[in-house]
Each structure stands twice: as C-alpha cells, then as structure tokens.
Amino acid sequence: MATLTYAALPAAGRPGLGILRRLTAAFDLYLQRRALARLDDIALRDIGLTAVEAHLEAARPAWDMPANWLR
C-alpha cells in the first residue's frame, strides 16, 4: 500500500494545508507505531529497543508526535 507522507506536500500556498500536513503526519505515525507493535524480540533487538520500550511507544496516541514534525 502506498502512502502519502506529509513531507511530500508543499509547505505553503493553500489555505488549510497545515491541517492536512498534520493529519497526514498523524496517520503515518499511527501506521509506524502499529508496525512497531508487531515486531518480534529479534527485530526489536536489531533496532535497539526492548519489548517494553516498543510497547510504550506503540501505545502513544497518533497526535503525540515529535515537535520538529510540526514545523
């Protein structure tokens, strides 16, 4: 499935684009966290996370994103 990432959208020029960027970023983050939740212990070890850390990250809401994503 192809996804449209918020980075692909132009930064300015259209009203409401900021909302579209935030919604797209939140949806992408939701998908990433769902994928993180499905990783097994070996894959988590490969990326340097414990099962507890992965669970805590995956449980965060989609709107809880890094501040630098909102610039």
Within-domain flag for 8: no
- Residue 4: which pLDDT band, with cuts at 50, 70 and 90? very low
**Burial (0-12, 13-18, 19+ Cβ within 10 Å), 30:** middle
- The structural domain count of the chain equals 1
pLDDT value of residue 21 = 86
**What CA–CA distance (Å, rounded) separates 62 from 37?**
14
**What CA–CA distance (Å, rounded) separates 29 from 35?**
10
| Reported pTM | 0.68
Within-domain flag for 34: yes
pLDDT in tens, 18-51: 888 888 989 999 999 999 999 999 999 999 999 9
Within-domain flag for 4: no
Tell me which of 14 and 50 has the higher pLDDT: 50
Under 8 Å between Cβ of 58 and 52:
no
**What CA–CA distance (Å, rounded) separates 29 from 7?**
13
